[in-house]
Every structure is written in C-alpha cells, then in structure tokens.
C-alpha cells in the first residue's frame, strides 16, 4: 500500500535556537538544563504542561549502585540478565558507571530523596535486582519529586518553554540534516497555531507509547509521537517489539481502558506476596527470586496463573505491612487503592499486567545520536541498547539522566548555530 502523507500548513511563526528539546520528562529537562547551562539557546516544547509526562507517574524509584557494598558491576550483571541477552553491554556499562554521579547531580539540581535515620539515601529492592539499589522520594512518589525539581530548575533558569505544543515534523535541509521542528501550539499567545523552531539539533524525549494498548500505566500523552516523527524523517528504530508489561497494575475490570493505577514493584521489594484466589503463592518455585524475579517472568507467571485458574486477575497481599508502613512508605498507592474501594491494609489488592514501557525506540549511539544528522533521542523514546528485551526495574529514570548528559555534551561540542543578523536584534 502506498503511504499517504498529509502536508501540514506552512508555519505562521518561527523562532531560532541552538537546540530544541521535544518533551519535558527527566530526559528532556535534564538535556535542556545541561545545554542551557553551557550557554546554548535552548527551547523546550511539550505536548501538554511541563509536568504532564510519564516521569511524574514513576513510583518505585531510580536504580544506581549507591549502597554500601554495591558496585556498578553488580548493577551491570542484573541489567544484562533482565535484558535476556539482548542488551548492548557497552551502553549498559555507561549507564551503571555514570549512574551514581548522575543521581548525585540530580540531587544538586534540587531533587530530595528519602533518607535513612543515619542520613544516607534510603534504598529499596525491585524485580531482578539482587541488592537494595532503588532510591525513592516521598515513599512512592519518586517521579513526582524528580519532575518538581527539574521543572523548578527550568523555571529558575528562565528556559524558553512552549507548552501545549504538538510537534508535527522534523525540518531537514537539502542534505537531510536536522534544521528544527514544525509544531502546532494551542493557546500560547504569540506562538499560537502552526509554527517552527529552527535549530541544528533536535532532541526527541517524548516518552513512550503505552496508549497504543487498551490498558496501560502511561498517561494520556504517551502516544509514541517521537518514534513516529523519527520514522517520518527517515531515522532507524529498533526493538519496538519489546513492550514491557508491568506485572502489578490495579485491576479495575476487564474492560477498563486507558491509564490504570500502578502498584509499584517496590511493594514486592518490601515483602508483599503474589497470591491467587485460593491464597497460593504461585511465584515460589518458579524463580530463585520468587516475586522479585525480572518483570517479564512475573508478568508471564501471573498471566499463566490467570489462565490456569480461570480468573481475570491475581492478588498482591501486603496486609502484613500494617497501616503505618502503608501510610509512610506507599501513600500514593494506598490513596489510589482506597479511591477505588480497596483497602490494602485489610485486603489483598487485585492486580493484572498492563502495558508499561517501550524498551525499544529510535536507535541511537552512545551519544544519543540517531541515524539522521543532528537528531537525537533520549529516554523512553530512544533505543540505546541498555534495556535489551526487558528493562530492569527503575533503570529508565537513570537512562534518562545519564544519556541526557551524554547528549548535552555532544550538542555542546557541536557548538551554537551560525548567528544571523536577526540574532543581534532586540527580542
């Protein structure tokens, strides 16, 4: 079938920048902050509000070898095992060795992580990790805290941001080099309607594509825009078949669609059990880590048990946490369950797998460069090779941070765009 290509209206306005970042999660805002700090004229465009992306919804945390006795090498081993032999080991090595420093720089940016009584960063466990390695904030509101800190930093740095901006296409010069993006903005005053941000570097950080599936943990904005734009521009994509299903998503009915409440893997990390309707812990004997096996193994085991028992969901039992621990450690999940009439303090939580994370995406090298010159991809939009066939829990926020810094370094090394007389004119 011949593809039909719709032509967008000609841009009614244009602005110039050294780099335009599309998306405002951890990957996009970290890239933008680093580029701006190096003196590049940086514009962030985002489809809804700055904090409407997936980052805000992340619960469990961010994985890094920060604990006593932990090492990047052990984090590497767990990542490679979870990735089922399909990770790019060089990319994983960059992730795990640069990860602890990247988390510390995020703390310097203003993110406040939970700490132990002794003042160290509190670490939890999640599936596939052989150690406590997951830093968290607000108990189970890690993404919300990271998003808050980055948005505050963007505002403090007075970065140029354009919200409610749907990116339409990549602008390319006659040689196919990136020249900016066209976008459709709704209600931004002087930048209303179809316009263009012209820049020699474009960073796609538009998040995932969970909304392609009926039930997902992703927010409504996660519609795969970056991958679609990159494909239209001729960029290579890879591993798109590796869509990760999160094992424990609050079950709201078989026909419940769209974004569903996540029940973080950290709940299992702190000792919750998966049971079927008869109370049997079906993960025992299936994997040495039982409920904390890598995510694909747990999701498949749940689905198998649902088929075997003819049921639509399994249960996550954490009644033994007691009210105090639920309130202190998992306030977001507790509130979400109670909002749906389930009290995890007194009853097991009905859970089933749902689409959660795109492990593949726009193929990049170790500097985040796609196959289109000047076009970068970062975070869930990208396929750096760190996730292989199955992302290790809580490696995604870390990937966003580490590769954002790598991309910013590359963009900065390329230097600012050629200045024109318009650059000298007063704004």
Closest chain position to ligand SIN (CB): 60
Phi, psi of 206 (to 5 degrees): -90, 5
Question: Which C-beta is closer to ligand SIN: that of 24 or that of 396?
Answer: 396
Least distance from ligand SIN to the Cβ atom of residue 18, Å: 32
Task: Name the residue nearer to ligand SIN (CB basis): 261 or 374.
Answer: 261
Instruction: Name the catalytic one among 34, 268, 295, 329.
Output: 295
Contacts 24+ apart (CB under 8 A), 100-104: 100/64, 100/65, 100/66, 100/72, 102/64, 102/398, 102/401, 102/402, 102/405, 103/62, 103/64, 103/66, 103/135, 103/398, 103/401
Identify which of residues 206 and 396 has a Cβ nearer to ligand SIN in the complex: 396
- CB-nearer residue toward ligand SIN: 127 or 224: 127
Q: Which is nearer to ligand SIN, 331 or 373 (CB)?
A: 331
Output the CA torsion 369→371→376→380 (10° steps). Answer: -100
Residues that bind ligand SIN (CB under 6 A): 59-60, 264-266, 357, 393-394, 396
Structure tokens at 390: 């199955």
| Least distance between ligand SIN and beta carbon 244 (Å) | 8
User: Helix, strand, or coil here: 146?
Assistant: helix
Annotation says 419 is catalytic: no
- Residue 323, CA distances (Å) to 140, 275, 317 in order: 15, 20, 13
219-243 exposure pattern, b = at least 16 Cβ within 10 A, e = fewer: bebbbbbbbebbeebebebebbebb
Residues with active-site annotation: 295
């Amino acid at each position: 079938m011949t593809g039909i290509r719709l032509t967008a209206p000609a841009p009614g306005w244009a602005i110039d920048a050294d780099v335009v970042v599309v998306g405002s999660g951890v990957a996009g805002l970290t890239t933008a902050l680093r580029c701006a700090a190096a003196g590049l004229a940086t514009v962030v465009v985002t489809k809804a509000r700055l904090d409407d992306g997936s980052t805000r919804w992340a619960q469990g945390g961010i994985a890094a070898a920060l604990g006593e006795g932990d090492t990047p090498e052990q984090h590497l081993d767990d990542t490679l095992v979870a990735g089922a032999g399909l990770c790019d080991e060089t990319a994983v090595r960059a992730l795990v060795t640069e990860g602890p420093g990247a988390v510390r720089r995020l703390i310097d940016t203003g993110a406040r992580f939970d700490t132990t009584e002794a003042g160290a960063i509190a670490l939890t466990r999640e599936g596939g990790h052989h150690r406590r390695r997951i830093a968290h904030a607000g108990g189970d509101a890690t993404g919300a805290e990271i998003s808050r800190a980055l948005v505050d930093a963007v505002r403090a740095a007075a970065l140029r941001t354009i919200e409610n901006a749907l990116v339409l296409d990549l602008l390319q010069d006659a040689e196919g080099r990136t020249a900016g993006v066209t976008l459709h903005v709704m209600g931004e005053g002087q930048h209303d309607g179809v316009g263009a941000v012209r820049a020699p570097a474009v960073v796609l950080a538009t998040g995932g594509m969970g909304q392609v599936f009926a039930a997902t943990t992703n927010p409504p904005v996660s519609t795969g825009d970056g991958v679609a734009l990159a494909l239209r521009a001729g960029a290579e994509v890879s591993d798109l078949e590796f869509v990760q299903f999160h094992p424990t998503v609050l079950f709201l009915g078989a026909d419940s669609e769209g974004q569903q409440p996540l029940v973080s893997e950290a709940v299992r990390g702190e000792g919750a059990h998966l049971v079927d309707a008869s109370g049997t812990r079906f993960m025992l004997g299936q994997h040495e880590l039982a409920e904390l096996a890598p995510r694909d193994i747990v999701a498949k085991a749940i689905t198998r048990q649902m088929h075997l028992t003819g049921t639509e969901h399994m249960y996550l039992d954490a009644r033994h946490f007691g009210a105090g621990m639920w309130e202190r450690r998992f306030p977001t999940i507790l509130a979400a369950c109670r909002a749906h009439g389930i009290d995890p303090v007194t009853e097991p939580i009905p859970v089933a797998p749902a689409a959660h994370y795109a492990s593949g995406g726009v193929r990049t090298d170790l500097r985040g460069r796609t196959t289109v010159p000047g076009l970068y991809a970062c975070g869930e939009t990208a396929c750096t090779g760190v996730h292989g066939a199955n992302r290790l829990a809580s490696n995604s926020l870390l990937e966003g941070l580490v590769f954002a810094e790598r991309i910013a370094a590359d963009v900065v090394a390329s230097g600012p765009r050629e200045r024109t007389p318009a650059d000298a004119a007063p704004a």
